[in-house]
Amino acid sequence: MNDVLVRCDMSVSVDGFVCGLEARQPPFVDDRFHRVTGWQFGDETAQAMVAERLEQAGAYVLGRRMYDSAGEHWSVESPYRKDVFIVTHRAAEDIRLADGTVFHFATDGVPAAIAAAKQACEPGKKVHVSGGASVIQQALAADLIDELHLHVAPVLIGQGTRLFDNLPDRLTELEPDTVVQTPGMTHLSFRINHAQKG
């Protein structure tokens, strides 16, 4: 289980926001969120990046707000088709979809959800921590992320939800992996060096 890598993919603005102020209320998305995430429906390069991400995934971890924001869209099918662990304070029975997705409602926190996702992974696959920002912050704070993939939109949002708030006062070294430019986006990949903390 310990050799299962944990990957985080997140779309952000240049000033580090994942959404604007309006997304703090239901349905937890706004036009600024759509501005930074819309690249996924773009050209062939973007489509290939999304397909590669889905192919690598063995299980997912995401927050309750992200799950709730999808609403009825995920009641019949989801983009995941794997085990998905929803970090929440509200216990619920598993939800199984015909497409192979199983939503598990994890009430013991982010580290426990990631541990459960690792157990659910097929050999050679990765756990994908897909958001929202709070779940990613908690995973980073607990030093549980191995790969960080940032999809940067050339826009300043100004106010809203920042991806890198609420982190410990420590230096975390990132090892650059790849930089890919697609129309309107810059995609940055890093490995997190767990040995170098300060």
Which alpha helices (H) appear in 2-75, and where do they start and end?
A: 31-37, 44-56, 64-70
CATH superfamily of 6-197: Dihydrofolate Reductase, subunit A (3.40.430.10)
Residue 109 makes CB contacts below 8 A (sequence gap 6+) with 87, 138
DSSP-assigned letter for residue 123: T
Round to whole Å and give the CA distance between 135 and 148: 14
Over the range 152-176, which residues count as b (16 or more CB within 10 Å of their CB) and which as e?
bbeeebeebbbbeeeeeeeebeeee
Say if CB 197 and CB 46 are below 8 A apart: no
Joined tokens for residue 74: 């995920």
* 104-162: pLDDT as tens digits: 999 999 999 999 999 999 999 999 999 899 999 999 999 999 999 999 999 999 999 99
Could you tell me the pLDDT band of residue 197, with boundaries at 50, 70 and 90?
A: low
Could you tell me the pLDDT band of residue 198, with boundaries at 50, 70 and 90?
A: low
Query: Tell me, what's the pLDDT at 1?
Result: 54
* 45-94: pLDDT as tens digits: 888 888 899 999 999 999 998 888 876 677 777 889 999 999 999 999 99
Query: Tell me, what's the pLDDT at 104?
Result: 97
One-letter amino acid of 81: R
Q: What are the residue boundaries of the structural domains of the chain, listed by start?
A: 6-197
Q: Which helix (H) or strand (E) holds 36?
A: helix 31-37
pTM of the model as a whole:
0.92
* 14-56: pLDDT as tens digits: 999 999 888 877 777 788 888 998 888 878 888 888 889 999 9
Query: Tell me, what's the pLDDT at 43?
Result: 80
Terminal Cα distance for the chain, rounded: 27
CB count, 10 Å around CB of 86? Answer: 23
